[in-house]
Amino acid sequence: MATHDDGDVNSGPTPEAGITPGGTTGAFRDMLAKGHARRGKPPVHLVDMSPEERVAAAKAIGMPKFRVKQLANHYFAHFDTDVESFTDFPSKLSATAQEAFFPELIHEVTHQSADEGTTIKTLWRLFDGAMIESVLMRYPSRTTLCISSQVGCGMGCPFCATGQLGLTRNMSTGEILEQVRIAAKTARDGGITGGPCRLSNVVFMGMGEPMGNYRSVISAVRQISAMPPEGFGISARNITVSTVGVVPGIRKLAQEGLPVRLAVSLHAPSDELRDELVPMNRRFNTTQVLDAAHDYYLATKRRVSIEYALMRGINDQAEHARLLAKRLNHYGDDWAHVNPIPLNPIEGSKWTASKPEDERQFLDILHRAGITATLRDTRGQDIDGACGQLSAKYRKTAGNEPNSDCSPTS
C-alpha cells in the first residue's frame, strides 16, 4: 500500500488528537485490546478543568472562588490532595471539596525496586480497573519519571510488551499528572534511595503513544512546566515527548511554543526493516518521519533524540549503523542525538538483546560518522523493567483480578 504524506486526506481529515484515523483494516490500525469498550470517562479532577470550570465547580458546592487557588497551591506546590489535612481550609468544606476537585484517579497495585533502590517501578489501577505503569529513576545529577499516556498501546510494535497489550483507552490529563504528583512527593519525602531529592525530569516514554492522546498530553505538559499554583514548575526543557513517528503530531507539537525535547522511536534505518518493527511506518515512512523530526529541530532549536532499540541480528549490525548515520547526516547541522538502547526483552520472545560487542561496534560506527550517540543506561533489568512487562505479569498471575478484561488481543 502506498504511503501518504502528512497532508493526506484519503482517509478523512486528521483528527485534533494529531493521530491518523485508525479503523480495523489497512496499513495502519489501532490494535485494540479485548477490553476496549465504552468504559466511561474518569472522574473530573482539578487539573482537568479550565480556570472557569474550577470557579463554576467551586460555586456549585458553595465554596468561594479564592479557595480554588488554595487547592491548586496545595496540589502543585506541596503535592497534597488530602483536603481535610489543610490547616488553611475550612473543615466544613473539606469533604465536598475533596470529592469535587481531588477524586482518586490512580491507586497503587504493586511496585518493584531495582538498581539498589534507585529505580522504582509502580503498577497503578485506574477507576475502571485498567492498569498503567510508571518508573521513577534516580541518577547522580537528576531524578527522572517515565510516565504512561494511554492504557496499552495501539501501535503494535512486536518487540514491545505494551504493544502486545493493544490499546484500551486514552488517559485523562488528571490520570497523567497524578503519576507526576505522587512521584514528586516520593522524591521529596526520600522514598527513593539516596534521601530527599527533587523530581527534575519527566519523559512520556511509558505505556502508550503520546501523539495518540495529544490533547491530554499537551495539557499535562503545560501543567508540569508552569510554576505553582498553575503547575509543578519542572522546566519544559526537562520534559521529553516520544513518538513512533506520528507525523501530524510532530508537526503540531513544533507549533506549541514549548521547548520540550522530541524523541523519535526509529529502531530501523530502512523502510523495509522498519515496516516490520514499527507498523506505523507503513503510514508514515522513515523519510516523512525524519523530515518532520528535522523540522521540529529547526522550529524549536532543540536537538531531537533518536531512540533505537538494539535487537540481536535484526537491526544491530554494521550495515544498519552505517545507513542510520547516512540518513541522519543527510540533514547536516548536528540536529539529532542517537540513543541506542539495549533491548529489555519480553519473556519468551524471539526478540533479544544485542551482543555487547555488536553494541560497541554500532556506537563506534555512529561516532566515526560524526553522529552524537550515547548507549542508554538500562534500568530495571532485574525487574520487569520495560513498559508493559509488569502489567502483563500481574494480569497473568492474578487471573480474575479487575483488569482481566484488558488482556491482550490474541
**Same domain, yes or no, for 95 and 166?**
no
Partnered with residue 311 across adjacent β-strands are 353
Residue 115 falls inside a structural domain: no
Q: What is the rounded (10 degree) CA torsion for 373, 379, 382, 385?
A: -100
Give me the CATH number covering residue 84: 1.10.150
Residue 107 falls inside a structural domain: no
The answer to whether the CB of 316 falls within 8 A of the CB of 277 is no
Instruction: Look at the chain and count its residues.
Output: 410
**Same domain, yes or no, for 237 and 386?**
yes
DSSP-based three-state secondary structure for 54: helix
**Same domain, yes or no, for 63 and 169?**
no
160 is an active site residue: no
**Same domain, yes or no, for 196 and 78?**
no
Residue 117 falls inside a structural domain: no
Q: How many domains does the chain have?
A: 2
**Same domain, yes or no, for 130 and 92?**
no
Per-residue model confidence as pLDDT tens digits over 165-200: 899 999 999 999 999 999 999 999 999 999 999 999
Domain with 265, as residue range(s), is 123-406
For the chain, residues with pLDDT lower than 70 are 1-39, 378-410
Residue 238 falls inside a structural domain: yes
Residues 6+ apart with CB under 8 A from 14: 6, 20, 21, 248
| The pLDDT of residue 30 | 56
**Same domain, yes or no, for 220 and 366?**
yes
Per-residue model confidence as pLDDT tens digits over 331-375: 998 999 999 999 988 777 788 999 999 999 999 999 999 999 999
104 is an active site residue: no
Exactly one of 99, 133, 160, 319 is catalytic; name it.
133
| The pLDDT of residue 38 | 58
**Same domain, yes or no, for 59 and 172?**
no
Q: Chain-centre distance of CA 294, in angstroms?
A: 21
Residue 332 falls inside a structural domain: yes
**Same domain, yes or no, for 215 and 247?**
yes
Going from the C-alpha of 58 to that of each of 49, 55, 74, 177, 178, the distances in angstroms are 11, 5, 16, 21, 21
| The pLDDT of residue 394 | 59
Give me the CATH number covering residue 345: 3.20.20.70
**Same domain, yes or no, for 252 and 397?**
yes
**Same domain, yes or no, for 289 and 161?**
yes
Residue 92's identity, in one-letter code, is: K
**Same domain, yes or no, for 164 and 234?**
yes
**Same domain, yes or no, for 302 and 204?**
yes
Residue 363 falls inside a structural domain: yes
Per-residue model confidence as pLDDT tens digits over 25-53: 444 445 555 555 556 899 999 999 999 99
Exactly one of 357, 387, 401, 406 is catalytic; name it.
387
